[in-house]
Chains A and B, each alone.
Chain A
Amino acid sequence: MATIELQNIAHQYDPQGDSAYALNNISEVWQDCGAYALLGPSGCGKTTLLNIISGLLRPSEGRVLFDSVDVTSLSPEQRNIAQVFQFPVVYDTLTVAENLAFPLKNRGLPKSQVDRRVSEVLAMLELTHRAHNRASRLSADDKQKISLGRGLVRTDVRAVLFDEPLTVIDPHLKWHLRTELKKIHREFQHTMIYVTHDQTEALTFADKVIVMYEGSVVQIGTPPELFEKPRHTFVGRFIGTPGMNVFEVNLQGHSAWIGNQEIKLDRSYELIDGPVELGIRPEYVALSPSEGVAARIVAVEDVGRHLVVRTQVEDQTVNVIVKEGSAIPESPHLVFSPDKLNVYQNSCLAEPKVL
């Protein structure tokens, strides 16, 4: 369990050449025992950051500290972390139990201690009945469990890092494995850092989510915070299925105008220059037959648990989530919950004028 601190981390893969920075000046502190997720699209730098934390990659600039000790020059085994990769990494010729015992044997621990710890971890992962099977013969999700187990088996492990570990797992088993991870975190309180591009995985797993984009950290917050108040339109769009509706408006005092239609805001915003956009989640838009902003329905998708109604207002797309079995009005109007509207200027969240 460690408090991890990053000071001015930046990384360029090809220092001699003129390649872009994979990571731009990141400074963060992550508390002991937390479950964190690094969330972002491909190429945003999340795996690079993870490898810098684990020690597999040495950053071009900056320092990494574990519990205030500079570990930037230390190798992964010296930092005492565990990493689970995208596809399962198991030692084919060893049995499941031997796989789990491997890291402990390499440290020269006595056999009795090793056996005890291995049976504990086997029970935790529900693999006791397979302890003596060859690791190569297990299914993909069991192999991932073994990879995870090898990390957990060391009682003094400082942090467990996950690099998109559920990529090869079936959707049904993804649920099971994810809840297992959460249970393990709750019980053993390891610092866990999880890299993914799947926002559902990130939001369900982590206490705090770090959203990254093009090498920089865009926002850090709890899942509800990221959901309710995204500080950047990118975060708004990235989180949620479908993502936040973002459309251009003209601000005038207490109202936003989309074309000739008025949307009332619950507070006044400073008149600002530059493109202004309104953001609201589809969950907070309602359909009504008469009051609100007139819209044209483009499509209705039934995704089982609710309906997603895709509408157009003045050439801009607004999605609405409507409960299963609801009636769609003939001439639909959109009603926006005023307290859920966020104003964005230059894609960043704008603060309301304090009266």
Chain B
Amino acid sequence: MKTKNNKAWFLILPVLALVAISAVIPLITVVNYSFQDSFGNNEFFWVGTEWFQELTQSERFHNALQRTLLFSALVLLIEIPLGIAIALAMPRKGFGVTVCLVLMALPLLVPWNVVGTIWQVFSRVDIGLLGYGLASAGIDYNYTQDVADAWITLVVMDVWHWTSLVVLLCYSGLVAIPEAYYQAARIDGASRWSVFRYIQLPKMKRVLLIAVLLRFMDSFMIYTEPFVVTGGGPGNATTFLSIDLVQMAVGQFDLGPAAAMSLVYFLIILLVCWVFYTVMINYDQAGQESTGGRGHG
């Protein structure tokens, strides 16, 4: 309900132009490719929905999709509870707050390919601290050859990289809880678990929803880090959708199927986002109904 000032629209024109060139036009091109086949040499001819039909039956696509979903699930299952636990343990007042916040922010500041490189070298059996250490302890660890080891390495790397985001989001939710709630809980004789379950968790619902959404999206789209560490290997054990897509488009130069796959990929993410958004809006409305008292007077 803002008052109207139409001149503001003109300020958006440069940005619109930029977005058009960098995003909209390439997107349309991709859509275009997805309905065509090419034989190198820029010769294209229409094949309709053939690529999409092939995709629904392609074992390669389904495997890559399953791997990506498994990765996202694992990552969420570990990062969300761990993030909540760390946020609960962080001090809410005093000197320790700044120290903790800075420590938590550090992993988020590292560029993603550097994250990949760090863990790649770290885990190498010959020169990596972790790899060498595990080998001398007698543990059989080799992420370039063993599927399980590769997966473990990638999951641990992602947890190291991104748990801080969950921590910071949950922390902001926790800090907003007024002291009186904790006091009332003490007086009611509530156990630590009850305080968490009946006060802290409900109050954190909204930020948790955001955290889950962000982490799902990012982990579903993950590319740089696993590419740097395992390159998709061993074999195709860690070939996620994004890596598969790039292999097809750039490696094999199969633009048609690659375009179709990237569109389907994009639509899946869009669908998930829409679901989350709807849930959040409904939750917001339910929340607004219940705020009686001096809100909108």
Contact = CB atoms under 8 A, between A and B. Distances in A.
A91 B290 CA distance: 13
Interface bracket on B: 20 to 34
Contact of A92 (B184, B189, B202): B202
B180 A85 contact: yes
Interface string A50-85: 000010100000000000000000011100011101
A168 to B, nearest CB: 5
B184 A85 contact: yes
Interface in B48-106: none
Contacts of A250: none
Chain A interface residue number, banded: 20 to 34
B252 interface: no
Interface in B260-295: 289-290, 292-294
A85 B183 contact: yes
A134 B187 CA distance: 22
A19 interface: no
B191 A89 contact: no
Given A91-B198, A94-B198, A106 B184 contact: no
Contacts of B202: 91-93
A137 B289 contact: yes
A136 B205 CA distance: 14
Contact of A150 (B183, B188, B199, B293): B188
Nearest to B294: A168
Interface string B200-212: 0011000000000
Given A91-B198, A92-B202, A77 B186 contact: yes
B191 A106 contact: yes
B189 A103 contact: yes
A151 B187 CA distance: 9
A77 B194 CA distance: 15
A56 B186 contact: yes
Given A136-B290, A138-B292, A168-B293, A89 B190 contact: no
Contacts, number: 65
Interface string A79-113: 00111011101011110000000110011000000
A333 B187 CA distance: 57
A87 B290 contact: no
Interface in A124-168: 134, 136-140, 143, 147, 150-151, 168
B290 A76 contact: no
A151 B189 CA distance: 11
Contact of B184 (A89, A107, A137): A89
Given A86-B180, A147-B184, A107 B189 contact: yes
Contacts of B187: 54, 76-77, 81-83, 103, 151
B90 to A, nearest CB: 22
Contacts of B292: 138-140, 143
B196 to A, nearest CB: 12
Contacts of B290: 92, 134, 136-138
Nearest to A84: B184
Given A91-B202, A103-B187, A137-B290, 6 more contacts: A77-B188, A82-B187, A93-B202, A106-B188, A106-B194, A138-B290
29 contacts: A54-B187, A76-B187, A77-B186, A77-B188, A81-B187, A83-B187, A85-B184, A86-B180, A87-B178, A87-B293, A89-B181, A91-B202, A92-B290, A93-B202, A102-B190, A102-B198, A103-B187, A106-B188, A106-B189, A134-B290, A137-B289, A138-B292, A139-B292, A139-B293, A143-B292, A150-B188, A151-B187, A168-B293, A168-B294
